[in-house]
Each structure stands twice: as C-alpha cells, then as structure tokens.
Amino acid sequence: MVHPSSTCCKTSGDGSCVCAAQAKCSCGKENALHCTCNKASTENTVAGARCSCRARPAGECTCERAASENHPVTGETCPCGKRSSSSCTCEKARAVDEAVGQLETDFTTRA
C-alpha cells in the first residue's frame, strides 16, 4: 500500500493536490482560502499548523482526510503539537530566521 504525502491526499492526473481542491470554507461551498461569507477575514489566510491540504488549520480540515485529521493528536507530535511528528505542517519561519542569523556574517560593518 502506498501512503499519500503528509501534505496532500492524492494527486490528480495534472499533478495538483486532490485534498486542496476538496477543501472548502467552513461556511459554504467556496474553496478554502476563497471564502466570501462572514468568516472570510479569518479563513482566507492560514498560519501555523495546517490540515494536510495546507488550506485549512490543523483540526479544521474539510477535505476527505477530515475524519482522520480532526481529532487531538496522540503520541509524538511536531514542535507545534497539532500534527503527528511524521506529518508536520507547522510554520518554521522563526526557527529558520534564528538559524540564518547565526550562520550569516555581516560584512557591511567590516573595513
């Protein structure tokens, strides 16, 4: 049995992610990240841990993986605690910025 990627359910013939196409806004039929209802201001951007379709917050999936993903995570988790350690989708921007800051040398102040 082939397991799907941790960030996509299946791929369609054109290579796009099926789950991302399935993900809907919580208040209607619009595609996730394209909401037009009163939740648009909070649902049209996603930050932090995400559902495997990457278009909804972790625990609020609306694609075919909703049944397996919309529950508390047990066992080892990602650093954000919202996904299992084998399928992290947490934002890592702060950690990357900190690591880059330690690796880079500022030559602009050297004579």
Give backbone dihedrals phi and psi of 5, rounded to 5 degrees, phi first: -55, 150
For 16-110, strand residue ranges (E) read none
- All structural domains of the chain with their residue ranges: 1-105
Whether 16 shows a pLDDT value over 80: the answer reads: no
Q: pLDDT digits over 52-83, tens only?
A: 888 888 889 888 888 888 888 888 988 888 88
In the three-class reduction of DSSP (H, G, I as helix; E, B as strand; rest coil), residue 79 is classed as coil
Q: What percent of the chain has pLDDT over 90?
A: 8
Question: Which letter does DSSP use for residue 34 in this model?
Answer: -
pTM listed for this prediction: 0.63
Alpha-carbon span 109 to 107, nearest angstrom: 5
